[in-house]
Amino acid sequence: AMALSGVRVLELAGLAPAPLCGMILADFGARVVRVDRTPRSAVATDVQGRGKRSLALDLKRPPGAAVLRRLCCQADVLIEPFRHGVMEKLGLGPEVLLQENPRLIYARLTGFGQSGQYAKSAGHDINYLALSGVLSKLGRKDENPYAPVNLLADFAGGGVLCAMGIVTALYERTKSGKGQIIDASMVKGVAYLSSFLWKSQNLGLWNRPRGENLLDSGAPFYETYKTSDGKFMAVGAIEPQFYEQLIKGLGLDSDKLPSQLSFSDWPKMKEKFASIFAQKTQAEWCSIFDGTDACVTPVLSFDEVASHQHNKQRSSFIKNDQEEISPRPAPLLSRTPAVPSFKRDPFIGEHTEEILLEYGFTKQEIAKLYSDKVIEFSVPKANL
């Protein structure tokens, strides 16, 4: 059995962060039901549906809300991704659902959180990143702050930390027998992720303007360099002994170079390193640096990463029955590892009847809900 086997999760369909949270739980064994909106003509936005089943339900109508309330009576976890106040308007707020099921973990995954000036405001990863302070640290010298796609706030500060909160609450429930509400704000989540940045301010790592520090593209030994075939190498030779191996691999003599931490020499050292890296292909640099402690690695594209020898040896990527490649769940547990589903992601409403029967609805109740257009099926059954 996987670590989360037996845990029943209801995930209300939403954008990127909540689907990741649900997929993490599904990968580690939870039975995750994605509650999709109706009508089914709505575009499916969940590309992280691995291991989930789909129930199509109209929550905006009282009979639909009543169905979810009934489902929540038997669920362990509810993941909801709406702005503050939406669930309350539907009569599905935590005070209602926890009254009916005191063991429910009610996870509220939002950008700005359940309170504060922006609680009811729209936003996206870049906005949450900005409000957390983290965005101010990202970017090169003399350039505007730069958001690294939507990985940090949406997925790391949102989906991953929400999943951690759920697992933590499930563990606590084994002792208290009680559920609780999780307020997973992406602003607070990504700020928490940046704890090292806050706590290292007195170490001198961030004393210089953005893009001129050790880890933000200021240093020549913590940078990416273009190779002769238009690819890139990543360099992270921070420690002196690693830097010495970098210098050796580049064919330079450290005695003839400025001190590694001579800030004023960093720009010209960057130019020197760039001109040297540009003289060989990525494969040639790999043959020089692989097996050393120079902290130099190839920058792999999505097309290349699954076939790299290290990743193949670790079985780091999987292929589903649609031949789609994606990362294997992490971290690896020795006794109860995640066993991800290899099936395609569910169609909206594909498992509506199956799920409702499993949660105790009768065939007659399901037929009535279908005829009233409260629920939908991916392929409507003729006998309904």
Supply the residues annotated as catalytic.
124, 154
Which value, to the nearest 10 degrees, does the dihedral of the CA atoms of residues 176, 165, 76, 375 take?
150
Is residue 87 within a helix (H) or strand (E), and if so which, with residue range? helix 86-89
SS3 label, residue 55 = strand
Which long-range contacts link 172-179 to residues 24+ away (Cβ below 8 Å)? 173/103, 173/105, 177/102, 177/103, 178/102, 178/103, 179/98, 179/101, 179/102, 179/103, 179/104, 179/105, 179/106
Angle at 94 between CA 161 and CA 183, to 5 degrees: 25
- Crossing angle for the helix pair 186-193 and 161-176, nearest 10 degrees? 100
The sign of the CA dihedral 297, 299, 302, 303 is negative
Is 317 within 8 Å of 327 (Cβ atoms)? yes
Q: Rounded CA gap, 213 and 201, in Å?
A: 12
The pair of three-digit structure tokens given for residue 141, joined into one six-digit string = 């010298």
Angle at 370 between CA 365 and CA 376, to 5 degrees: 125
Is residue 106 within a helix (H) or strand (E), and if so which, with residue range? strand 105-110
Is 197 within 8 Å of 137 (Cβ atoms)? yes
